[in-house]
Chains A and B, each alone.
Chain A
Amino acid sequence: MSMALIEDILIWGSIYAYAIATILLLTGFVFNKEKLLRIAGYIITPAFVAHTAVFAMRWARTGYFPANAQFENALVGGWFAIGFTVYLFFRNRSLSGIALFTVPATLLFLGYGIMKAPDPLPLSASFKSIWLPIHVLFAQLAYGAFAIASGIGLLYILKDNKERKGVQNSFYSKFPKLEALDESMFRFVVYGFIAELIMIVAGAIWAKNLWGSYWAWDPVEVWSLVSWLLYGLAIHLRVTLGWRGRRLAWLMIFLISTVIITYWGIDAVVQNTRHVFGVTPKGP
């Protein structure tokens, strides 16, 4: 059996597992069925193992860090998001609710990637730089962390809504206290904020070597800066003006839009960006 076929089987296996987990998570949350959430957790874990195997196989097969074209970006981005989720699942079972946000997001991300260019392409000379893995790795870490922060934000709002109504709900009581959710949310924002700064700095140094300037006001550059500034503002609002709880949770849910715009929005609407996440081979 060829490596490519094994990769195909594993990635499709992961996608189906994430799809089933998404259904279970949604049903579990909507109908307050805790058992379904637990089953989803047990489905996500082996799916993540398969996902990891695809990540490693792709790296071994191509000889470069998988960051070439949409499929590989989806593979790595999803890997970080699910990795965080699985880590939280084992470390603090009660936080596994954030999977409601990360698993469907990864499913869509992978689905989008696999539709584009799943077969490995030779690495373009412009991508052969030590800064590529650093830039991409920290981008994935940052965006993975922001996705988790949004997921926790969503969980916070759902739990807080029940508590405000005075409803004693055993389902939501399984999740951490609101104070713990609030802190976790902030922790992931801090993590993402630092990772995004390193991503921007690494990208600027790489751009100088590749394009001759550190900064060129490219739409993707601008939006990664906007996203970074807004998350920085969120940190300021919490530390200085005491924004926490519901306010911070809503802010986290809103701010994930800046990541979506940076990652997908610009590539979709702007023709003139030099950050093309998909690679189309040029040929006569």
Chain B
Amino acid sequence: MDERREIKKSLPVRLLSKFKSVKLAAWVIALLTIIYFLGLVIPQKWMFNTREQYVAWVGKGLFNKAIDFIGFTDIYLSPLTIALLAVFFVNLLVVSIYRVPIIMKKAFIGENPPRFGIDDVKKGKNVQVIEAAVAPGEAKNRLRKYLKWHRWHIFENEGASTFLAIRNRISPLGFLLFHLSFLLCLAGSLMITYTRFSGKLVLTEGQTFQNDISQFQSIGREPKIMKGLPSLGLEVDKVHAVYEKGVPSDLVIETLVAYGNETRRESLKVNEPINRGPVSIIAKDIGVSPLFVRKAPDGTETDGAWVSLNVLHGEVDSFKFKPDDDYTFLVRFYPDYYVEDGVEKTHSIEVKNPAMRLVAMKDSEKIYEGTIKVGEGADVGPFTVSFEDLRYWAQFQIVREYGKTPLVAGFVLACVGLIMRLVFYQKRIRVAVEDAGDKALLYIDGRSEYFQYSYAAELEKTVEKLRREVME
């Protein structure tokens, strides 16, 4: 009966002890590395341009189906990856908990320093001896003062002629901070994953967003909890884009932002998002929106719209005046138009002399092709399309998420913990002072947590300095 209880008691402990092993961490990291490598060679869902392409790929054979079934087409969030990450974090947590008493002991927090005598120091591996022509008490005092000045923490052995000096005493706490930082990062990441809303919004200069979700061009992520989004209004006044040698070198979007009860003018730049509470407005892309007006042969306007086109970098885009319209227009844009040897070209990507190459299609048949500038019209046949004006559109990413604070705190703590543990590692010196008649003999034995080989040379130098500067 007792034996059975003993087994019951020890089972969770035995299970937990499995998780504290470094070997387990090594295996998990190795497996994660393999999975991440596979992520480079197995096509991922997000790599497909359309869902149809992805479905077609999955349908191409048993292997693809199997890969998709085990979640490896979304490998970084596949059940196996998540399970391995979970094991990794449990491992970190258990290791941290198990190591707390050891770390406290190492940092001498709530722990008495070890007692040792002169003989223990003499038997040390790196013992150095200093002969000082002063009384033992004075020699000990001088050494203690020197070490304290150089930020060594002194632990006295009461009534004994020995003492312990430690440099970077609390360095072992860095281990806990570093491992705690992983848990903070995990907490922050989970909060972000579950509360994140992310959507893309396209607004032309002069256009306004009034917290209407249907205005979003696409919604990348919807929150799983805290679904209510804060009230946000956004108006685009002006877009200033600068291109140098075809490289987009500057972008400023003048906006009017309404959040809660506050409305403010803001300049939005690439790399400088507008942040309001948990909401961020990020500049993603720009393009041009020509104002095309459809006119009847008598000149009456029958339709018109600012059409946001993706044509700024030479792409061909298309539009219709109405979704069920019979006419489709293909558009190519020349920001700074000129003709050379009969070929239409642009000097640069900067909008200086804009022109649109229009191709009108009806029932898959080309019925018009020509280039028009601002103020000009294209005679399509039953109607005319005039190019009245040109504005920029800006694409924004609107993000709402919580969890930034623990995540960033985790980042900071990771850096601090790592530097504390690996840069400011512990060094110890055991000192024994012996009375040798008219002089004192100081035995100094040193040990370093890491880099023991070079520390022996460092200790030698320190002792030499002590001989010359302190004990003279």
> Which of B122-130, B137-145, B242-250, B375-383 lies at the binding interface?
B242-250
When distances are taken between beta carbons in the complex, the residues of chain B under 8 Å from A121 are 245, 247
B133 within 8 A of A: no
A116 within 8 A of B: no
Partner of A201, one of B76, B248, B415: B415
A156 within 8 A of B: no
Contact mask for chain B residues 16-40; partner A; CB cutoff 8 A; 1 contact, 0 none: 0000001001100100110011011
Contact mask for chain B residues 413-457; partner A; CB cutoff 8 A; 1 contact, 0 none: 011001100110000000000000000000000000011011000
Cα distance A134–B364 in the bound complex, in angstroms:
54
CB nearest to B414 among chain A residues: A197
B96 within 8 A of A: no
**Among A179, A194, A241, residue most surrounded by chain B Cβ atoms (within 10 Å):** A194
Rounded to whole Å, the gap between the CB of B187 and the closest CB of chain A is 14
CB pair B46 A272 closer than 8 Å: yes
Rounded to whole Å, the gap between the CB of A250 and the closest CB of chain B is 15
Q: How many of A's residues come within 8 Å of B, CB to CB?
A: 59
CB pair A124 B248 closer than 8 Å: yes
CB pair A236 B313 closer than 8 Å: no
Contact mask for chain A residues 21-60; partner B; CB cutoff 8 A; 1 contact, 0 none: 0000000000000000000000000000000000000000
When distances are taken between beta carbons in the complex, the residues of chain B under 8 Å from A239 are 450
Cα distance A208–B192 in the bound complex, in angstroms:
12
A211 within 8 A of B: yes
CB nearest to B315 among chain A residues: A284
CB pair A283 B314 closer than 8 Å: yes
Q: When A124-B249, A223-B36, A236-B22 are in contact, do A183 and B423 touch as well, CB less than 8 Å?
A: no
When distances are taken between beta carbons in the complex, the residues of chain B under 8 Å from A118 are none
A161 within 8 A of B: no
Interface residues of A in 252-284 (CB under 8 A from B): 266, 269-272, 279, 281-284
Q: When A129-B271, A201-B411 are in contact, do A226 and B313 touch as well, CB less than 8 Å?
A: no
A128 within 8 A of B: yes
CB pair B269 A125 closer than 8 Å: yes
Partner of A125, one of B77, B245, B251: B251
Partner of A124, one of B29, B247, B269, B411: B247
Rounded to whole Å, the gap between the CB of A128 and the closest CB of chain B is 6
Interface residues of B in 53-90 (CB under 8 A from A): 76-77
Partner of A183, one of B245, B247, B422, B453: B453
Main SS at interface, chain A:
helix
CB pair B349 A283 closer than 8 Å: yes
Cα distance A272–B74 in the bound complex, in angstroms:
14
CB pair A236 B269 closer than 8 Å: no
Partner of B25, one of A198, A236, A283: A236
CB pair A210 B270 closer than 8 Å: yes
When distances are taken between beta carbons in the complex, the residues of chain B under 8 Å from A213 are 198, 399
CB pair B280 A212 closer than 8 Å: yes
When distances are taken between beta carbons in the complex, the residues of chain B under 8 Å from A226 are 32-33, 36-37
Cα distance A236–B418 in the bound complex, in angstroms:
13
CB nearest to B313 among chain A residues: A282
CB pair A284 B273 closer than 8 Å: no
Contact mask for chain A residues 202-234; partner B; CB cutoff 8 A; 1 contact, 0 none: 001110111111110101001101100110110
Cα distance A75–B248 in the bound complex, in angstroms:
24
B346 within 8 A of A: yes
When distances are taken between beta carbons in the complex, the residues of chain A under 8 Å from B282 are 209-212
B47 within 8 A of A: yes
CB pair A209 B273 closer than 8 Å: yes
Q: How many of B's residues come within 8 Å of A, CB to CB?
A: 58
B272 within 8 A of A: yes
Cα distance A81–B284 in the bound complex, in angstroms:
36
Main SS at interface, chain B:
mixed
A193 within 8 A of B: yes
CB pair B246 A240 closer than 8 Å: no
CB pair B25 A217 closer than 8 Å: no
CB pair B399 A212 closer than 8 Å: yes
A162 within 8 A of B: no
CB pair A194 B423 closer than 8 Å: yes
CB nearest to A266 among chain B residues: B40
CB pair B270 A128 closer than 8 Å: yes
CB pair B40 A183 closer than 8 Å: no
A6 within 8 A of B: no
B392 within 8 A of A: no
Interface residues of B in 103-144 (CB under 8 A from A): none
Partner of B39, one of A122, A222, A279, A281: A222
Interface residues of B in 329-374 (CB under 8 A from A): 333-335, 345-346, 348-349
CB pair B414 A237 closer than 8 Å: no
CB pair A212 B313 closer than 8 Å: no
CB pair A125 B399 closer than 8 Å: no
B157 within 8 A of A: no
When distances are taken between beta carbons in the complex, the residues of chain B under 8 Å from A223 are 36, 40
A9 within 8 A of B: no
CB nearest to B345 among chain A residues: A284
**Among B77, B270, B407, B454, residue most surrounded by chain A Cβ atoms (within 10 Å):** B270
When distances are taken between beta carbons in the complex, the residues of chain A under 8 Å from B408 are 205
Rounded to whole Å, the gap between the CB of A206 and the closest CB of chain B is 8
CB pair A229 B33 closer than 8 Å: yes
B189 within 8 A of A: yes
Give 15 A-B contacts (CB < 8 Å), ordered by A residue. A121-B245, A126-B271, A128-B249, A179-B453, A194-B423, A198-B415, A201-B415, A209-B271, A209-B272, A217-B77, A283-B313, A283-B348, A284-B335, A284-B345, A284-B349
Residues of A participating in the B interface, judged by any CB pair closer than 8 Å = 121-126, 128-129, 131, 177, 179-180, 182-183, 186-187, 190, 193-194, 197-198, 201, 204-206, 208-215, 217, 219, 222-223, 225-226, 229-230, 232-233, 235-237, 239-241, 266, 269-272, 279, 281-284
